[in-house]
A and B are shown apart, each in its own frame.
Chain A
């Protein structure tokens, strides 16, 4: 199992690079995931989306619907896809430390 080290803490990742224990998420971890996704340094606009998703998840226990993300951040859907090229449901959720999305049906 791959591991990464942040701020003196060792964290386990699963085979797809998600945190085994999502409770260990921090902003440093988010930046690490962003690098993995090839996004480079996260901008304020990235953070606006990431924080919105993260807060919604902490409050309700589920990822927000994409319409909600668009409304709350005020960004166009296309723009969110420019910020997170693999999409709000995949890339942004990963960076925000949400559970791994699964399923094909």
Chain B
């Protein structure tokens, strides 16, 4: 039965981390994917980081092989990072090359520290979710293949995080990343009257942010096509509000998000490409758009400038001009918080 909470630290944390708990003083990156942390006592802790299958989808077969490596190289412990990459902690420095090779044989590339392309974060998409407008795992795979070399080598001005969400619910956190891909629905929800009759109609009406949903007597609702903003809010509380249209669903590209406080501070990413169509299995135009933005950033940004910092220096005018992405009325925010992104004053970048 549930109700026990967290296991004690000793059950999962490696002894080297417990021995030096709170006493770490320094770290350096020896090469992409290999970190060295030094504790007060002088003890050094070597970490090897590797990319994991897209969407953090791990079969028990792979998990058991990873456990085998952890037993052999890291005293029986491993760690998963906040971006779901794998870390083996406390590795003997003399065996790092051997471990890298063994991980490579498992198909897991070593890298993703420092100024590199990091492991992608994506939601479950069409593998397992009813809301997804696009298949986040496949998009993640296509982008990861394209930027694979940049995971292994540091050729960026700063780190690059890419996250992919299958819909605007953003379980895949597209808006948090340097470059985010967010699935968008564009068609109206289909109202299945007999299903809606079995739902809490006042709740469906109240979750709609624009008041587009009105009750339709006796026991259903109707959607005002002029006011619907395709936010998917009504689909969650009622299975009679069905979304998803293969011909018009697609995805949008956002750039410039980051969480840390350095540089221009924490910010959400902004929508720069309002719509691209779904083209399974490899979404070539998404990959192309990402490649175009990344290449420009690599060429133009100063050292330590993440994409958001770079754009806040050069301005959105120049970003659009240099990437060649067209500006349309879709970029202007018209939703409730719109004054936050509308320009006041005439301090333009020309």
Contact = CB atoms under 8 A, between A and B. Distances in A.
Interface of A: 18, 20, 22, 57, 60-63, 98-100, 102-105
Instruction: Report, nearest first, the 4 A-B pairs whose CB atoms are least far apart.
Output: A103-B236, A62-B200, A61-B202, A105-B169
Contacts, number: 29
A62 B203 contact: yes
B301 interface: no
B321 interface: no
Contact of B237 (A18, A22, A61, A102): A102
A93 B169 CA distance: 26
A100 B198 contact: yes
A102 B198 contact: no
A103 B200 CA distance: 13
Nearest to B170: A105
B239 interface: yes
B122 to A, nearest CB: 16
B168 to A, nearest CB: 10
A22 B194 CA distance: 12
Contacts of B117: none
11 contacts: A20-B198, A60-B202, A61-B202, A62-B203, A63-B200, A98-B200, A99-B198, A100-B198, A102-B237, A102-B238, A103-B236
Nearest to A57: B200
B66 interface: no
A63 B201 CA distance: 11
B237 A103 contact: yes
